[in-house]
Chain A
Amino acid sequence: MSGTATAEMLSAAELATIRADFPILAERVNGHELVYLDWGATAQRPRQVIDAEVDYVEHRNSAVHRGAHTLAAEATEEFEGARAKVAAFVGADEDEIVWTSNATEALNAVAYAIGNASAGRGGAAAARYRLGPGDEILATELEHHANLIPWQELAARTGATFRYVPVDDEGALRLDLLDGLLSARTRLFAFTHVSNVTGQVLPVAELTARAHAVGALVALDACQSAPHLPLDLHALGVDFAAFSGHKMLGPTGVGALYGRREHLTALPPFLTGGSMITTVTMEGAEFLPPPQRFEAGTQRVSQAIALGAAVDYLDAVGVDRIAAHEAALGRRLVEGLRAIDGVRILGPVGDGVERTGLAAIDVPGIHAHDLGQFLDSRGIAVRVGHHCAQPLHRRLGTTASTRASAYLATTPDEVDAYLAALPEAIEFFRRLA
């Protein structure tokens, strides 16, 4: 994140150019210009990404890693080229990037690979990953369900104990408790880089170093960081990371698992079947080296290629610029929200808090669904609900919140439109009550 301090937010002219690339941003919703503030749930796609997928389907569509014909060779090259682009984008090597359907599948792939190792699969090489009674898996109370349930389930399957780092009343992670929770029993620490509810950025390198100091592996949920912040997984030192293509201008149906080479080489596969084997007999099978070992079955080729184009797009704009832009929008959003009566921002909002361009709010007495309905009538698309973080919402004393999330195509005017509509919405419901 070193670049964010120096990079400048996107200028009005740059924003206009970027916005022109996104066909959907020209849509009108309920008679209003669309104000899309739900990028954190799923990002819209620029024409370049849509075109890359169509172009592949129209001209080179074929089975990868199989046939010997020309199209198959071209498809394979483009598919692997996309992997190289994505790897470079997140600071990984190509063979450390496994295609998955999304971040959820990536996190489950790690949990199930470790579970299979715990059941004795993978032989001696995988023995160091075995979990059992007495071992602990640590997560945090901030987590999206995707980085929570797979670990609860893994603990239940292996007899390991699931523990978590709680948050305080504000929603800040209680890092002061970490020393008491991390111990030689901790085998894996799973946490998010950026909370999808509070937008706070966790100190990944520091947490990773502390986990490694007690011999624990680190699984990072990079869903809300890979699209928004310069990411260097090698520098951060994490063992595994997961992210989704659809949150970073790519299509749905593709995401990635990052695993350090030593782990992917030693761990047994999660899904098994075609395309991931060397020799198969009626007694058993031998597996390809990673990443193919973890890519059973026909892959999401056009989606991966489009994700490669998405990464090209992000690189062309510059992720450091995007991060600076979002940080500025995030500050504007939080400052504006703080000035509105009756609005509680979920998560820490102090000046020193590093955050991305999102904020979730609770308006006591007005349900998020109702707020969202009013905003939608003005063409403003925000996310309402628990954002797949029920424990965090429960801890903060609510079941649902209203979240606005920005990205590279978001303008300050859009943030202002939301900030202007919100008091009207509150007033509308207060008047009813």
Chain B
Amino acid sequence: MTAPEVLRVEDLESGYGEMQVLWGVNLRVPERSIVVVLGPNGAGKTTTLRSIMGIVRPWKGKIVFKGQDVTMLKPHEKVARGLSLVPEGRHLFPELTVEENLLLGAYTRLGKENPSDTLELVYNLFPRLKERRQQKAGTMSGGEQQMLAIGRALMSKPSLLMLDEPSQGLAPKIVRDIMETLERLRDEWRLTILLVEQNIAQSLKIADYAYILEQGRIVLEGPAEEVAKREDLVRAYLGI
């Protein structure tokens, strides 16, 4: 598998205050693929994505994005370069309308470009958001809010979309919809996706490659279908 890589994480170490969470994480995300990171609660999945995004400062290691070292850039600089994150818990702007939330997703381009083309694309992907464009984000259902969070992340026209447990707390039917959307984004939008999940079955079905993270270290990796075959092992790692 030698597709050019969009993101490479090398020996990443990070944490909060004195407490180290990540102990040398290595990841590769090839162009136009879906890479999933699985792991139990507290393994450091969110910390990994937040470190890649620059919300948490990496302690050691290297983050290479589209061939450039972006390790120490600020989040807004990374967004401008094409990284985008759908954070755990969504972090929408509850008092703003759906459309204002989406326009804020294009914040780094506002004033320079007209975001209305991207807005139309997002509305095509999620017609439901178009129906609700004037509704306040905070008053929508969990599934709609997750669509909005994904739509907002797409508004910056990213080349890498990262998602932190988008299926959390949603009904199985909606989880399937979201997974299908991610496949569409890879196949039709030609996006590259780094997905963090706890839903093993659903995410391994759409992913190309999988990593298992445990206590801040990668303990298993491989093509998704092979990892899926060793589901007993994965379950043991994830403690379920």
Q: Do A and B bind each other?
A: no
